[in-house]
Amino acid sequence: MDSRELESFITTVEKGSISRAAAFLGLSQPAVSKHISKLEEELGTDLLVRGHARSLLTRQGEVVYRYALQVLELQRAVRKEIAETSGEVEGLVRLSASSIPGDFLLPELLVRFRRSYPRVEVEVSVSDTKQALSDLMERRADLAVVGAERNLPGLASTHFFTDELVLLCPREHPFAKRESILQEDLAGQELVGRIDGSGTRHVLEEALRNEGRAIPASPLRFGHTAALVKAVAAGGGIAVVSSLAVPPDGNLVARPFAPPLLRPFFFVHGSLAFRPVKTLVEFLRQEVETS
């Protein structure tokens, strides 16, 4: 019995279906199905009753599942002890991030990470929440950092940090004279906005809908926050942006919302069995918590 077969079988049982197990493990559905079929062939019995929505254990499958957990736990213990004695963490981590963490938070943190783990390479793609999650689902990335929690089959979502959305406007704009902005103040305003798929746009629109308020028109929309900020600086209007994206520009003013408009960011990932990915997640979370 190959450990990959056991892992595919256990994950299918725990996630409820082959498709969810494949997403979690970063494998194709045919690969997971092949692992389970090979395990059944080796043992000479059916382990799962495959349904359209959920796969269920047979009586023989229950026995195999119980022992498979013990086998993999022993393997993990061996790998952990060897890793602790070998010391070095090495490998390539492909990270896909939405524009706020990708452009304004991760660069500095990843420089510090590389100083601590010089044998780990990190490849970062920056887009928006929708694309980052697509990269993860299509296995073009090992880890996604996004600004909207999504319950995706077979993937785990854990909190990373909480940001605040603010209104960015030119210093001569009437809103610049205010200490804070109410959501109702956006009524009738035109915003320089983000394109569909942006976590910032999603959070703002959801907050307005929850209050029964109209969503302001955004006739000018950008894929990246940096471009949006430049448009505001060029006199294009006002915008709702992350507090991390506010430039040290005396011509632009950021005003908080009252009550605050908060936006959580999340790690989204499959299995953290790959040591460099797990190490990176733990490092980033600790850095933010202690900053």
| Residue ranges covered by each domain of the chain | 3-86, 91-161+266-290, 163-263
What confidence tens digit (pLDDT) does each residue in 280-289 have?
A: 999 999 998 8
**CA neighbours closer than 13 Å in the CB half-sphere of residue 127:** 15
pLDDT at 83: 59
| CATH 3.40.190.10 correct for 163-263 | yes
| CATH 2.60.120.200 correct for 91-161+266-290 | no
What's the burial of 274, exposed, middle or buried (CB within 10 Å: 0-12/13-18/19+)? middle
pLDDT in tens, the chain (291 residues): 788 899 899 989 988 888 888 888 878 889 999 999 999 999 999 999 877 567 889 999 999 999 998 998 888 777 666 655 666 788 889 999 998 999 999 999 999 999 999 989 999 999 888 889 888 887 889 999 998 766 777 788 889 999 999 999 999 999 999 999 999 999 999 999 998 888 889 889 999 999 999 999 999 999 889 899 999 999 999 999 999 999 987 899 999 999 999 999 999 998 887 889 999 999 999 998 887
pLDDT at 216: 93
As a three-state string, the secondary structure of 176-212 is HHCCCECHHHHCCCEEEEECCCCHHHHHHHHHHHHCC
The CATH number assigned to the domain with range 3-86 reads 1.10.10.10
Pairing assessment for the beta strands 55-57 and 48-50 based on DSSP bridges: antiparallel
Torsion 248-254-256-261 (CA) sign? negative
What confidence tens digit (pLDDT) does each residue in 136-157 have?
A: 887 889 999 998 766 777 788 8
Measured distance CA(11)–CA(4) in Å, rounded: 10
pLDDT at 53: 63
- Listed residue (284, 268, 184, 201) closest to 241, CA to CA: 201
Do the two domains 3-86 and 163-263 of this chain adopt the same fold? no
